[in-house]
Homo-oligomer: A and B are copies of this chain.
C-alpha cells in the first residue's frame, strides 16, 4: 500500500499555553498532508472548488495522541488510502517524531457530495481511479 510522507515543523502558532501542540492542530497537519496527496494525484483544490460539480467533505475525523509535541519539533506525517467505498473513502495517517517514533495517529472519512443538490453521490470516476492507483502502487 503506497504511502505519501510530508515533513512539517511544529510552529509556535500550533502550540498553546500548556507548552505543547494544541490537539485540534494535529487535524490541521493531517489535512495539509491530504492536500499534498490531492496535488500529487493531479487535483487542484482551487480549481475543484471553483469549477467542479462536487466536493468531498469530511464526515468523520479522529486522532490519537501518543507523545506531546512542542515548537520546533520536526515530524513526518504519512497518509494511506485505507478504503474506497461507493460514495466515500477513508484515509489513515501516522505522525512520526525523532527516530520515526510514532507520536500520533489519525483517520478521516470523506463523502462525495453534489455541489448543486448537497446530496451524497457516487465517487466521481476520475477521483476513484486516482485513489485506487495510489492505493495499489508499490
User: Interface of A with B (CB < 8 Å)?
Assistant: 9, 11-13, 15-20, 22-25, 27-28, 31-32, 35, 39, 44-46, 49-50, 55, 57-66, 68, 70-73, 108, 118
Q: Is the CB of B70 within 8 A of A46?
A: yes
Interfacial chain B residues near A60, Cβ < 8 Å: 62-65
Given A27-B23, A31-B23, A61-B62, residue A55 in contact with residue B13 (CB < 8 A) = no
Residue in chain B with minimal CB distance to A47: B72
Which 5 residue pairs spanning A and B have beta carbons closest together?
A62-B62, A24-B27, A15-B17, A23-B58, A12-B16
A18 to chain B, nearest CB (A): 6
> If the complex has contacts A17-B49, A61-B62, are A12 and B35 also in contact, measured as CB distance less than 8 A?
yes
With a cutoff of 8 Å between Cβ atoms, the chain B residues found around residue A61 in the complex are: 23-24, 62-63, 65
Task: Tell whether, in the assembled complex, residue A13 and residue B24 are in contact, meaning their CB atoms are under 8 Å apart.
Answer: yes
Residue on B nearest A14 in the bound complex, by CB: B16
Residue of B nearest to A104 (CB): B59
Given contacts A23-B58, A46-B70, A71-B45, contact A16 B18 (CB under 8 A): no
